[in-house]
Chains A and B, each alone.
Chain A
Amino acid sequence: MDFRFDIIVEYFPFFMEGMGLTILMSVVGVLMGCILGFFIALGKMSPILIVRLPFIWYINFLRGTPLLVQLFLFHYAVLPTLLGSTTPVISVMVTLSLNSSAYVAEIFRAGLQSIDKGQAEAAHSLGMNKFQVMRHVLLPQAFKRSIPPLGNEFIVLLKDSSLGAMIAAQELLYWGRAASGQYLRVWEPYLMVALVYLVLTLSLTYLLNYLERRFDVK
């Protein structure tokens, strides 16, 4: 079997461009996911059932339906209705943000609930109010415990952003499909795309391990 490196060489700039967009969409997704997820976690921990309920179902929906279905729903239905129009990149970023917010919310909630009750009690007994207890005692500890699962979530998100190709967001897999379509070759483009994803996820894994070690030292 011949392997046509010239296809890879020709498409290399596009793969790099696609990789940039893949990274951008995942970073936006994970950052927005963290911000939203934090508030959703707080909402889901509310002692009042009526307050809790919408958050529970928000999480149920986003974790219980396929990401591709959510992407189609947002791209073709929700966003055009809400905003009038949308672009593939915006749709992917919104969908990834919301989807990861549900997972991140559960990560934060587990992190917060794993903190010994004595911590909040001690802080309250010193006269700290709820906000101060959260800010100075619970969140720093919960965040530290959340780093490993957040890292996993980031890696999942990075790979899932490839679904953007289904609505023609010009990320990494999109260019793989483009190359494949132009030259009617399947091995070169898809192996190349897989390789770039692998480099990205492995680099991220190393980075996260480094961060975990750093934070463990306190």
Chain B
Amino acid sequence: MISVKHLKKSFGDLEVLKDINVDIGQKEVVVVIGPSGSGKSTFLRCLNLIESITNGTVSIDGVELTDKKVDINKLRAEVGMVFQQFNLFPHKTVLENITLPIVTVKKESKQDAEKKAKDLLQKVGLLDKADAYPESLSGGQKQRVAIARALGMEPKVMLFDEPTSALDPEMVGEVLGVMKQLAEEGMTMVVVTHEMGFAKEVGDCVIFMDEGYVVEEKEPKQLFENPQHERTKAFLSKIL
């Protein structure tokens, strides 16, 4: 589904990603962990070209991202992204947040978009908030709306960049619950998170990144219980 080969990314002189090679199969849930500044967000952002790729290749569902002819907007519509800071549109209601991209990008009618948006809100348990503005929602609710908004584009892949890091502890569960449900429905997901419980329970594979490299890549149980590299051990001992 996703194939990353020799991916490199630099900001000016600073090389942030130094030769990343990863293959992610359909319906796979990959959890990315690693210390701050190791390049996790940058890696994720390269997958939907929010960050340009300096070198190497990334292909998603057969589409080569570095191909000059690739329709970036079409690709992005097929790769959903959920941010740490939610990034809901504050001037739009919850329902409008979800319908806006469906109407503008997918060119669906307003009625169809609203129906779809309501189904999605139902799914994340927020149908009663359809007409509320984001500022009146709690962090956990905002993130669930953000997930619903991304799902409205019917993406083939969902990327999550620390989706629960900005939440109060009591709200982490509701967001992880929605993500777990998504995984069970067969969504291909790449998740940057420090929630090791989620990684163990839902993840098919955990990638440990450090200083722009993938240091270790294993099944969650193996990685957590039997890390091979010193750096993985050091990192795990700090967070577990």
Do the two shown chains form a genuine complex with each other? Answer: yes
Give residues in A with beta carbon < 8 Å to B: 116, 118-119, 121-129, 132, 136-137, 140-141, 144, 218
Residues of B within 8 A of A119 (CB): 87, 89
Residues in B whose Cβ lies below 8 Å from that of A116: 85, 87
What are some 6 contacts across the A-B interface (CB < 8 A)?
Answer: A119-B89, A124-B73, A126-B76, A127-B76, A132-B105, A140-B91
A sample of 19 more A-B contacts (CB under 8 A), given A123-B101, A126-B80, is A118-B83, A118-B87, A119-B87, A122-B83, A122-B87, A122-B89, A125-B79, A125-B80, A125-B150, A126-B150, A127-B77, A127-B101, A128-B73, A129-B73, A136-B104, A141-B89, A141-B91, A144-B91, A218-B133
- Chain B residue at minimum C-beta to C-beta distance from A215: B91
Nearest-neighbour CB distance to chain B for A92, whole angstroms, equals 36
Contact B90 A128 (CB under 8 A): no
- In B34-87, the 8 Å CB interface with A consists of 48, 50, 73-81, 83, 85, 87
Count B-side interface residues using an 8 Å CB cutoff. 27
Residues of B within 8 A of A218 (CB): 91, 133
Q: Which residues of A contact B74 (CB under 8 A)?
A: 127
Whether A121 and B90, one on each chain, are in contact in the complex, defined by CB atoms closer than 8 angstroms, is no
Nearest CB of A to B183, in Å: 20
Q: Are the CB atoms of B100 and A136 closer together than 8 Å?
A: yes
* A132 contact set on B, CB distance < 8 A: 104-105
| Separation of A127 and B74 alpha carbons in the complex (Å) | 6
Grouping DSSP codes into helix (H, G, I), strand (E, B) and loop, the A interface class, with mixed when no group exceeds half, is helix
Q: Which residues of B contact A129 (CB under 8 A)?
A: 73
**B130 to nearest A CB, angstroms?**
15
In whole angstroms, how far apart are the Cα atoms of A127 and B106 in the complex?
Answer: 9
B residues lining the A interface (CB < 8 Å)? 48, 50, 73-81, 83, 85, 87-91, 100-101, 104-105, 133, 146, 149-150, 153
Shortest beta-carbon distance from A109 to chain B in Å: 19
- Given the known inter-chain contacts A118-B85, A132-B104, please indicate yes or no for A127 contacting B91, CB distance below 8 A: no
Min Cβ gap A86→B in Å is: 42
Given contacts A121-B50, A136-B100, is CB(A126)–CB(B91) below 8 Å?
Answer: no
| Separation of A123 and B83 alpha carbons in the complex (Å) | 12
Q: Which of A118, A125, A128 has the most CB of B within 10 A?
A: A125
CB A121 to nearest CB in B, in angstroms, measures 6
The residue from A122, A128, A137, A144 contacting B105, defined by CB atoms under 8 A apart: A128
Q: Which of B79, B80, B89, B153 contacts A137 (CB 8 A)?
A: B89
Rounded to whole angstroms, the CA-CA distance of A123 and B100 in the bound complex is 10
Given A136-B100, A218-B133, the answer on whether A126 and B105 have CB atoms closer than 8 Å is yes
Q: Closest Cβ of chain A: how far from B94's Cβ, in Å?
A: 13
Q: Which residue of B lies closest to A127 (CB)?
A: B77
CB neighbours of A118 from chain B (8 A): 83, 85, 87
On chain A, the residues within 8 Å of B78 by CB distance are 127
Residues in A whose Cβ lies below 8 Å from that of B100: 136
Report the bound CA distance from A132 to B76 in whole Å.
14
- Most B C-beta atoms less than 10 A away, residue of A122, A123, A126: A126
B131 to chain A, nearest CB (A): 11
